[in-house]
Amino acid sequence: MTTILSLTLLGVLVLLLGILKKKTLQLPLILVGLLTALALTISDWNTARHLFNEMLIIDNTAVAFSAVLIFSTFLIFMFAAHYYQGVQRPLDDIYAIMIFALVGAVLMTSYGNLIMLFIGIETLSIALYVLAGSHKEAITSNEATLKYFLLGSFLSGFLLFGIALIYGASGSFSLHGIQLFVIANGQNLPPMFLAGLFLLIVGLAFKIAVVPFHFWAPDVYEGTPTLLTAFMATVVKTASVVAMYRFFSHTFYGIYGVWETTIWVLAALTILLGNFTGVYQPNLKRMLAYSSISHSGYMLLAVVAFSPFTGNALLLYSLTYSVATILAFGILILVREANGNDYFTSLNGIARTNPVEAFCLTIAMLSLAGIPPLAGFMGKYFLFTTALEQGLLWLVIIAITGSAISISYYFKPIVAMYLKENEGGKLNSGVPFKAHLIFLTLLLFLLGILPFLVIGLL
């Protein structure tokens, strides 16, 4: 609760600073504010509370994932000063909307009632429609925002229809009420409930960008300003996956049915198609878009595999995925700034001119691919072993095959950077930017070597 209040207050304060034209104070205030919100969130640890008649349930899962979301946003904001340097227009609106989107994401991790889930998703989405189009002069940004808006509100309609049908069948919006209904009806759930469940899965699958509802993601990611794409690929994805995980773990704990097969198929399709299509992408940003699609497939494993440990695995996975992706997007910001595009050829030979950046991108790619000493490997290891313990052998085989395929495209930028001749490209990053990149790289090593900092928490 304090998280949501403090973040909302922070957003309003940023807008206020915009009115007072205190441009230089904005970013420091946001960074301090986000750290404060993070501290306030963590102070809720082990004080499980049910607020507003079970509208919000602040349990340890909610606290942990909120902390991951706020931390990711903090990491993204560290790039903002460099990304927006030289931009004349006031930026308080973009910053404030990002923070408001984060409030929506936090709601999605701590809801106890489908009304709150809907409010959270819409707070996040409406803010994102604006952010996707925030580069008003670029036609690609305009196109991205229109596509995202039309498809997003269309699929929100499906989500809502699903919630309405679930309400009609079970007579309740609260997770607890739905759980009682599921327990009472066991394997004989009425068709209306199943139809509602299916539509709810469709709506959430769109937000997570799961195959076959992923087609918007590469286009929208490509058109959106890069800093905000990083936000979409990490915060939005984590929040949506956690929303789905929370729904199923609260209502269906241990009760299997048709929905499990549905998510099984979705996860398998996402892992295979996301990785296969990723191989054919010509540039880094679209490649990262497909990488994020296939990673949402891996995260769905956690939704299918129920055990007390699943939450831990998902927590570690989302944290490692977020850190690695933000690091990759940090380099992407530099590449686009230096070359105006992000084709793999523009990375040629930058290992000689920019050894630090090249090394950081290599680590990010290796971590996303899941190479052993790095964080991504630990994330995948715990997720896959939990899934195996739950008897999802085939899904794990598919996931491992997918990871093997993904190595081929994660190595493309590494090959370009280290083995190709330089064509005069040089990335310009300042000292603070470089320090942040190195911090993220170290974090990937730390989480890879000591995953037990995170894994035993929940």
Stretch that binds other proteins, among 122-130, 304-312, 321-329, 343-351 (CB under 8 A): 122-130
* Sole binder of other proteins in the list 43, 140, 261, 428 (CB under 8 A): 140
* Sole binder of other proteins in the list 52, 154, 253, 452 (CB under 8 A): 154
Non-local (6+) Cβ contacts of 425 within 8 A are: 338, 339, 346, 347, 348, 349, 350, 353
Stretch that binds other proteins, among 77-85, 114-122, 353-361, 434-442 (CB under 8 A): 114-122
- Residue 176 sits in the site that holds other proteins (CB under 8 A): no
Side chain identity, residue 285 = K
- The site map against other proteins for 197-216 (x = CB under 8 A) is ------------------x-
Pairing status of strand 49-51 against strand 56-58: antiparallel
| Residue matched to tokens 């280290």 | 418
Contact 329, 322 (CB under 8 A): no
- Residue 172 sits in the site that holds other proteins (CB under 8 A): yes
- Residue 122 sits in the site that holds other proteins (CB under 8 A): yes
Contact 50, 97 (CB under 8 A): no
Considering the complex, state which of residue 171 and residue 373 has its C-beta at the smaller distance from other proteins: 171
Considering the complex, state which of residue 159 and residue 301 has its C-beta at the smaller distance from other proteins: 159
How far apart are CB 101 and other proteins at their closest, in Å?
13
* Sole binder of other proteins in the list 84, 161, 276, 445 (CB under 8 A): 161
DSSP string, 393-445: HHHHHHHHHHHHHHHHHHHHHHHHHHHSPP-S------HHHHHHHHHHHHHHH
How far apart are CB 170 and other proteins at their closest, in Å?
10
How far apart are CB 44 and other proteins at their closest, in Å?
25
How far apart are CB 98 and other proteins at their closest, in Å?
15
- Residue 343 sits in the site that holds other proteins (CB under 8 A): no
| 95, two tokens | 């910053």
**Helix-helix angle 237-251:284-304, to 10 degrees:** 10
| 285, two tokens | 């940003």
- Residue 191 sits in the site that holds other proteins (CB under 8 A): no
Considering the complex, state which of residue 161 and residue 359 has its C-beta at the smaller distance from other proteins: 161
> Cα separation of 126 and 13, whole Å?
20
Considering the complex, state which of residue 164 and residue 438 has its C-beta at the smaller distance from other proteins: 164
Side chain identity, residue 174 = S
Considering the complex, state which of residue 160 and residue 407 has its C-beta at the smaller distance from other proteins: 160
| 436, two tokens | 């942040």
- Residue 178 sits in the site that holds other proteins (CB under 8 A): no
- Residue 51 sits in the site that holds other proteins (CB under 8 A): no
Do you find a cis peptide bond into 212, omega within 30 degrees of 0?
Answer: yes
What is the sign, positive or negative, of the torsion defined by CA atoms of 47, 50, 56, 59?
positive
Considering the complex, state which of residue 224 and residue 320 has its C-beta at the smaller distance from other proteins: 224
Considering the complex, state which of residue 75 and residue 159 has its C-beta at the smaller distance from other proteins: 159
Type and span of the H or E element at 447: helix 431-449
> Cα separation of 155 and 208, whole Å?
12
* Sole binder of other proteins in the list 126, 235, 302, 369 (CB under 8 A): 126
Considering the complex, state which of residue 127 and residue 272 has its C-beta at the smaller distance from other proteins: 127
Tell which residue, 81, 69, 95, 108, has the closest CA to residue 12: 95
β-bridge mates for residue 57, sequence order: 50
Number of residues that bind other proteins (CB under 8 A): 38
* Sole binder of other proteins in the list 74, 95, 173, 231 (CB under 8 A): 173
How far apart are CB 202 and other proteins at their closest, in Å?
12
* Sole binder of other proteins in the list 219, 257, 307, 345 (CB under 8 A): 219
Contact 356, 434 (CB under 8 A): yes
- Residue 180 sits in the site that holds other proteins (CB under 8 A): no
Measured at the CA of 98, the angle between CA 92 and CA 103, to 5 degrees, comes to 125
**Helix-helix angle 375-389:393-419, to 10 degrees:** 170
Stretch that binds other proteins, among 27-35, 142-150, 290-298, 349-357 (CB under 8 A): 142-150
- Residue 391 sits in the site that holds other proteins (CB under 8 A): no
* Sole binder of other proteins in the list 142, 307, 339, 345 (CB under 8 A): 142
* Sole binder of other proteins in the list 71, 95, 111, 129 (CB under 8 A): 129
| 171, two tokens | 């007579």
User: Phi/psi zone of residue 21: left (φ > 0), alpha (ψ -120 to 50 degrees), beta?
Assistant: left
> Cα separation of 77 and 71, whole Å?
10
> Cα separation of 46 and 63, whole Å?
9
**Residue 213 has what DSSP assignment?**
S
- Residue 192 sits in the site that holds other proteins (CB under 8 A): yes
Considering the complex, state which of residue 215 and residue 445 has its C-beta at the smaller distance from other proteins: 215
- Residue 260 sits in the site that holds other proteins (CB under 8 A): no
Contact residues toward other proteins (CB under 8 A) are: 115, 118-119, 122, 126, 129-130, 133, 136, 139-140, 142-147, 149-150, 153-154, 156-157, 160-161, 163-164, 167-168, 171-173, 192, 215, 218-219, 222-223
